[in-house]
Amino acid sequence: MSKEFWNSDIETIKIQDLKDLQFKRLKNIIKYVYDNNKIYHDKLKDCNFKPHVIKNLRDIEKIPFLTKQDLRDFYPFGLLCTQIDDIVEVHASSGTTGKPVVGPYSKKDLEIWGEVMARSLWANGVRKSDRVQNSYGYGLFTGAHGFEKGAEKIGAMLITISSGNTRRQVNIMKDFSSTVLACTPSYSMYIAEVAEEMGYDPLNDFNLKIGCFGAESWSEEMRTNIEKRWGINAHEHYGLTEIIGPGIVTECNEKKLHINADHFYCEVIDPKTNETLNPGEKGELVFTTLTKEALPMLRFRTKDLAVYDEITCDCGRTLPIQSRIIGRSDDMMKIKGVIVFPSQIEDALMRVDGISDNYQIIKTTKNNITSLSIEFEPTDERFKDGNLDDLEKLAEDEIFTILNLKVPVKAIKPRSIPRSTGKAKRVIQR
């Protein structure tokens, strides 16, 4: 019989033992940062912070936050806490909204990364006998490399196809009998679409069992659609270049995201007042890396909104849980006084029969007033049936139910929205 957890000592640790471990590691990492990087040292000193004031975990609140801007200010290697020669691998974010954020790793950091990725892939059901089609883009972006390290640690067959060339993805999936697909959720749907065009039935013609999806926000409704279309179990992955890449959490078979909290300490704060919130309250995730050597993060503000909880899970893991990301504070839109997250719109659209998973939210700003409209592609069959006005009305009603906001919705011809092989562009400005 196969073992249940990758690392049962940690994954089923008593919560008090976890807290003791976190406290010990927190004290060490603060002292380490304080002693090993001058910029970091001065930043802490400027806030009158001294490492010895940390007497319990809650004292972490005495440490100032670290933001993406801080990382950009000292781009690329200003905040390193090791020697530059100790760096054995470097990744970076795309930098679409400014300078890229750099993720340097020491040898020990890579071991940690492999460990947390193995935990999460193992929890998704990945075993040595599996064949992992790694369709995340291989490049500076952390995604593909994290999945590679975890799959190798488990000893699965890794198929390093990268993203793009979608007909080839389908052929390789068929010829190599891939059992696991790792990519963005939207790309998995595009691969299914191309497979159909090539005359295959995604549900019956492949050997796929598990999907490891991340790097973009996707709703539960989208998850259900993907699972039905491929006949797989679709799992969420959450990662940040600043923290380690993917591997911050492990999604179990109860579809709960357990934080790998022996390495990543999680707080939730009110993004407006910066006040620390209690478990169960929604706010911005703040992470502290407890073990990273090259570029440790003390209280990094993620801008991701979620809920943190220390509740028991039926899977047997005791590691704390974070909800799926409710939205990025950056993605939040305020329309006629109503707070709107793109994922809420996706939820509404996916509830309507006959709407495909391809849609775009169009933001228009006129005289400083922002309004929204939506374009979606009906499924091929629904498009042929005509009477698209009815479908548009159904979608508008669903959106109104969720947001209490009237948003005009328009059905457009199937395959007219550009497809992405990485992160889908759901919101466009017109």
Question: Residues in the site for Zn ion, rule: CB under 5 A?
Answer: 252, 254, 256, 313, 315, 317
* Shortest distance, position 261 Cβ to Zn ion, whole Å: 13
| Nearer CB in complex with Zn ion: 63/252 | 252
Q: How far is the CB of 379 from Zn ion (least distance, A)?
A: 34
Closest distance of CB 136 from Zn ion, Å: 24
Closer of 207 and 312 to Zn ion (Cβ): 312
User: What three-state secondary structure class fits 116?
Assistant: helix
Helix pair angle (342-350, 220-230), 10° resolution: 50
Q: Tokens 């009477």 sit at which residue?
A: 387
Which sign, positive or negative, has the C-alpha torsion 227, 231, 233, 239?
negative
Distance CA 121, CA 374 (A): 35
Closest approach, Cβ 308 to Zn ion, in A, equals 15
Nearer to Zn ion, 236 or 284 (CB): 236
Identity of the residue, 119 or 426, whose beta carbon is nearer to Zn ion in the bound complex:
119
Considering the complex, state which of residue 26 and residue 252 has its C-beta at the smaller distance from Zn ion.
Answer: 252
Beta carbon of residue 126, minimum distance to Zn ion (angstroms, whole number):
16
Burial class (CB in 10 A: 0-12, 13-18, 19+), 384: exposed
Among the listed residues 292, 243, 260, 240, the one whose alpha carbon sits nearest the alpha carbon of residue 107: 292
Q: What angle do CA 164, 379, 383 make, to 5 degrees?
A: 130
Judged by CB, which is closer to Zn ion: 313, or 362? 313
Closest CA to 284 of 253, 326, 312, 238: 326
Cα angle value 212/72/116 (rounded, 5°): 30
- The least distance separating Zn ion from the CB of residue 219, rounded to whole angstroms, comes to 20
CB of 18 to Zn ion, least distance (A): 15
Residue type, 12: T
* C-alpha–C-alpha distance, residues 166 and 188, integer Å: 10
Q: In this complex, which beta carbon is closest to Zn ion, that of residue 229 or of residue 317?
A: 317
- How far lies 157's CA from each of 127, 150, 160, 179, 180, in Å? 9, 11, 10, 10, 10
Smallest distance, Å, CB 415 to Zn ion?
39
- Whole-angstrom Cα distance, residue 198 to residue 190? 12
Q: Which CB, 237 or 303, lies closer to Zn ion?
A: 237
Task: Map 219-257 to HEC letters.
Answer: CHHHHHHHHHHHCCEEEEECEECCCCEECCEEECCCCCE
Q: Which is nearer to Zn ion, 82 or 120 (CB)?
A: 120
Q: Residue 115 and residue 6: Cα distance in Å, rounded? A: 9
CB of 290 to Zn ion, least distance (A): 21
In the complex with Zn ion, the residue whose CB is nearer, 227 or 254, is 254
Separation between Cα atoms, residue 28 and residue 51, nearest integer Å: 9
Nearest approach in angstroms of CB 409 to Zn ion is 37
* DSSP one-letter code for 218: -
Beta carbons within 10 angstroms of residue 194's beta carbon: 16
